[in-house]
Amino acid sequence: MHPVYAELHMHSPWSFLDGGSGLEALVRRARELEIPALALTDHNNVCAAVKFTSLCQAYGIQPILGAELTMEDGTHLTLLARNRQGHASLCALISRAYSHGGRLTPRLPWSALGIEGWAVPAPDGGRTDAPPDARAPVPAHGLLCLSGCRRGVLPWLIRTHNYAEALRTAETLRDVFGRDSFHIELQEDFTPHCHRVNRELARLADHVGVGVVATNNVHYAVPEDYPAHEILRCIATKTTREAPHPDKPLNSERRLKSARQMADLFAWRPDAVVNTLRIAESCEPALPGREDVTPAYPLPHGHTDAAAYLRHLVYNGARARYGCVGAEGTVPPMRAHTASQRIIARIEHELRIITELGYADYFLMCWEIVRWARRQGIRATGRGSAADSCVAYCLTLTDVDVIQRNLPFARFLAPGKTPDI
């Protein structure tokens, strides 16, 4: 029977100084190898989620979103989003890691996963003194957990012959994520101790009653991209190509491999390959579609329609900005002149398009955000083509008078375009 394999551990250039191939090159190669599903697991971020999803859809591949998180002790843990709720949980955990460790060295406290009392020593001297707010548990709903690469806590404990601690750790992760949502990763990359560690990990999985899953910790699409990956790791470790370093690759095995190659590597444990497809089939789309997902703006008492409330605010702002415009588009007595009519016509034109395209709530939220920021003493203003909107000017989102400068609204918003304020 022809084997089927889904790659559930892959890095792109968004794993900074660690991804040797572009996103499209990775997805295109997966298509060539007839890989039905790919999981993107960049280090501590989901920055490429939208682009990755679009590319996978274009190439007919199921996208799975995830991340390889760096824990407070320096070990790695792979998390996959089973659905939209899982993606939200993953984003919350990533935010927690950055709030704890900082922009350059994000570290997720184990307690954020509801795991307390860890006694695992930090293999890289990682920080283990997270402040109380960083230690509060984040609900891990909708997440699948894989035990990670060679820098995962379980492989590290096995390599250091700490079997009792490895057993306790595996049982804890199983209990936190659930028996069906936690798998122990096996990676045959021909590095020192690889074969021994994999067999110990497989025995550990059997002992605690969880599945094993084969991944290849992909960092580039084809062997020809290995030199680029090697150079990136030299930059990251500040070493020359000849200088050894534990965080530099030893060979070109971390490429996308076919189902047959993976089946041959794991002939001693075929369920590890079979489980890749089972996991992929359990995952739903983690990102919303192209439909509008703008939430409804909470209208104040006495207002029931977002478009009407937006009109009210815009004309209040127009009176403050121009002075020659009355309430709701009227022209004050003794002030009727061409400028007033021109301003009102422009506002009405913009409001009609904004309302027809369903962006009234969006403008109200932008107005609320900018108003709040300014009350806090934070400088805030619109950007880019938002300066072409008279509505944005009247709401004080921008400070460019589109009437005086004769700026076209269509450059900012028109059917088929999305506003970006």
**Contact between residue 153 and residue 77 where contact means Cβ atoms under 8 Å apart:** yes
Q: Give the span between the Cα atoms of 46 and 88, in whole angstroms.
A: 11
The pLDDT of residue 334: 46
**Cα→Cα distances 210→6, 175, 204, Å:** 19, 11, 9
- Lowest model confidence (mean pLDDT) among 101-110, 116-125, 175-184, 220-229: 116-125
Instruction: Express each pLDDT in 262-313 by its tens digit.
Output: 999 999 999 999 999 999 999 999 998 766 677 899 999 999 999 999 999 9
pTM value is 0.77
pLDDT mean over 65-69:
99
Q: Domain ranges for the chain, please list them.
A: 7-281, 306-411
- Could you tell me the sign of the dihedral formed by the alpha carbons of 31, 33, 36, 42, in that order? negative
How many residues in total does the chain contain? 421
Q: Token match 């859809």: residue?
A: 57
* Predicted confidence band of residue 357 (pLDDT cuts 50, 70, 90): very high
Dihedral Cα 49, 54, 58, 60, nearest 10 deg: 40
7-281 fold: TIM Barrel (3.20.20)
What residue spans of 323-398 are helical by DSSP H? 338-356, 360-375, 390-394
**Helical (H) or strand (E) element with 29:** helix 23-32
Beta-carbon contacts of residue 222 (< 8 Å; ≥ 6 apart)? 21, 25, 29, 255, 256
